[in-house]
Structure 1
Amino acid sequence: MTRQSLDLDAVRAFIRIVELGSFTRAAEALRTTQAAMSLKLKRLEEMLGFRLVERTPRYVEISAQGATFLELARELLEAHDRALSAFTGARQRLTIGISDHVAGPELPALIARMNAQDPELLIEIRIGSSGDLLQSFDRRELDTVFVRQHADRSDGKVLAQESFGWFASPNWQRRANEPLPLATLAEPCGVRAMAGRLLDDAGIPWREVFVGGGVTAVAAAVMAGVGIAALAPRMLPFGAVDVGAKLGLPELARLPVLLHTRVHRGRAHEALDALCAAFRSVIRS
């Protein structure tokens, strides 16, 4: 009896279809056509003898047998990629997302620490909001994300708790009888939401005077004297001062830095451990 072999390209196509929930998006991710994806999946299903996904005009839904096969398929490709990397010298890729409120000025040193751990590892880093990065992680576009706690999520591993303060430039003065001027990150931002909620609960009127696309921009606005911002101390340029007690502002909660990852073994995991250790060393509670 001739034993058939699984087509790894077809297995990879199946995984992508399930992860992205669409033949079209999966085809784009693998740089091929929707017709080619459909053909690969059809041949894989014929070989296995059962349907892997149920197709409807509006969405793709994995079948019960497909769900069982999915984890085995992922293990198969992981084993294949590890073997290929070990014996062909192919560089393993690790894709990481880091929240802008987490990255901080230490990021170059953190990257250097990862590179020192494994110079042959290909590291790809994306900076963004916690919400956007978590969505990318769920779509399996990222292997790992470091984020602030998100209102819609209760999972993830806590790496550290970080303190926040109300910071302003040394010469900034609040104008009498005017709402507290805030510099914030664009929505959605958990730190922005926390600051606004605390001020509202304390009955302190406030208004946004600057919205930045990143923490660097917000810190620049603070040092320019535009207003104050709720930020972690390590994010501020030298000279920024905490004006919370002076203005009678509510105390900001410590916020956790959370790790979400699918990397649990091998060289990439060792490099990730080095990055986690580096984050713990620079984040002050």
Structure 2
Amino acid sequence: MIDVTTLDVDAVKAFVTIADLQSFTRAADALGTTQGAISVKLKRLEERVGHRLVERTPRLVRLSAQGAVFLDSARAFLAAHDRAVAELSSARRRFSLGIATHVGAPELPTLLARLNAHDPALTIEVRLDDARDLLDAFDRGIIDAVIIFREDDRRDGEILGPDHFGWFATPDFVHSEGEPIRLAASSPSCGILNTATRALDTAGLPWTETFLGCGAFAVAEAVSAGLAISVFSRRVAPSGTIEVSERFGLPALPPSEIVLLSTLSDPRSRAALKILASAFREHRAPAGNARHRTREVMNGISRA
């Protein structure tokens, strides 16, 4: 049995950060130290617990079986330590995060849980809004960080991964050939909508805005009600809808990139951002789910 009172906090934190980021180099960067120092701390921890916790090859860093077992206890150990330290100070740090509604937030519970485990003294404020409003708040210093689709006029930010879009509607949505495509949109300034309408114009397909709602959630409700077609990330298309590009001869849409923007530079904030980016990448839903759902639903219709 391990005597937890003798564990070194920095060594345990190094182990957890390596586990989260799956890289000695990124862990060192997140903790503001060197790769060599991280390796020494891990080695001392492994000697103390009597097990190899991390297996490292030239191409891969992963937890050993003992490391996987120890990870939850290590997180609890760090959380208890941080709570004890936090109680000595009345000041709590705040971290405001904006996530664009078109990006969606299936990862949000994981992001919040990971940030809280990393720094229990952190008060996390989350704002879900349209990308343009979030960017305005970010540029004015109201929000510390935002996760959005990359805008054409911005090249800054850390890339979290690619995302792919499709045209979605309910399986029983009816569109007659030659009639304007009935679109649902959240805002005339929506970058995704502008890309979609340009694609329709290029393809010579007429379209009209049947539903203009306040925010992406209202658009999702309109599409789910069978009122219109709209464009969504394949990861977060409304439940009960299918991809209808081939069915109605709609043009393919270019992919985009999900990016994390932040101007925070202090070591603790940088570490939080590293954890945030890692959790987002790790828990993204596979982009192919919507394609599979479309195929399954359409097969069901054809068999009916």
TM range (shorter): 0.5 to 0.7
Tell me which residue corresponds to 2:188: 187
Tell me which residue corresponds to 1:236: 237
Deviation digits for residues 218-247 of structure 1 (CA, Å, limit 9, x no counterpart): 111111111111101222233311010121
Deviation digits for residues 22-76 of structure 1 (CA, Å, limit 9, x no counterpart): xxxxxxxxxxxxxxxxxxxxxxxxxxxxxxxxxxxxxxxxxxxxxxxxxxxxxxx
Tell me which residue corresponds to 1:172: 173
Tell me which residue corresponds to 1:154: 155
Please state how far the C-alpha of 1:89 moved relative to its aligned partner.
4.4
Please state how far the C-alpha of 1:94 moved relative to its aligned partner.
0.8
**8 Å Cα contact 2:224/2:239 also seen in 1:** no
Tell me if 1:282 matches 2:284.
Answer: yes
**8 Å Cα contact 2:130/2:216 also seen in 1:** no
Tell me if 1:211 matches 2:212.
Answer: yes
Count of paired positions: 201
Quick one: structure 1 residues 103 and 119, their matched pair in 2 at CA, closer, same or farther if it must change by over 3 Å?
Answer: farther
Gaps of 5+ in 2: 1-85, 288-304
Deviation digits for residues 5-31 of structure 1 (CA, Å, limit 9, x no counterpart): xxxxxxxxxxxxxxxxxxxxxxxxxxx
Tell me which residue corresponds to 1:115: 116
CA distance in 2, matches of 1:86, 1:137: 31
**8 Å Cα contact 1:185/1:218 also seen in 2:** yes
Range that drifts further, 185-194 or 152-161: 152-161
CA distance in 1, matches of 2:108, 2:217: 13
Quick one: structure 1 residues 213 and 110, their matched pair in 2 at CA, closer, same or farther if it must change by over 3 Å?
Answer: farther
CA distance in 1, matches of 2:87, 2:143: 22
Tell me which residue corresponds to 1:273: 274
**8 Å Cα contact 2:168/2:244 also seen in 1:** yes
Please state how far the C-alpha of 1:275 moved relative to its aligned partner.
2.1
Quick one: structure 1 residues 255 and 86, their matched pair in 2 at CA, closer, same or farther if it must change by over 3 Å?
Answer: farther
Deviation digits for residues 183-240 of structure 1 (CA, Å, limit 9, x no counterpart): 1121321101100000000000011111222222211111111111110122223331
Quick one: structure 1 residues 136 and 98, their matched pair in 2 at CA, closer, same or farther if it must change by over 3 Å?
Answer: same
CA distance in 1, matches of 2:211, 2:116: 36
Could you say what the CA RMSD is over the residues aligned between the two structures, in angstroms? 2.1
**8 Å Cα contact 2:131/2:148 also seen in 1:** yes
Tell me which residue corresponds to 1:106: 107
Tell me which residue corresponds to 1:88: 89
CA distance in 1, matches of 2:219, 2:284: 21
Please state how far the C-alpha of 1:87 moved relative to its aligned partner.
6.6
**8 Å Cα contact 2:186/2:215 also seen in 1:** yes
**8 Å Cα contact 2:103/2:233 also seen in 1:** no
Instruction: Map 1:29-178 onto structure 2 (within 5 A).
Output: 88-178=89-179
Please state how far the C-alpha of 1:113 moved relative to its aligned partner.
2.6
TM-score normalised by the chain length of structure 1:
0.65
Range that drifts further, 143-152 or 104-113: 104-113
Deviation digits for residues 260-280 of structure 1 (CA, Å, limit 9, x no counterpart): 112244333333222212222
Letter in 2 for 1:222: V
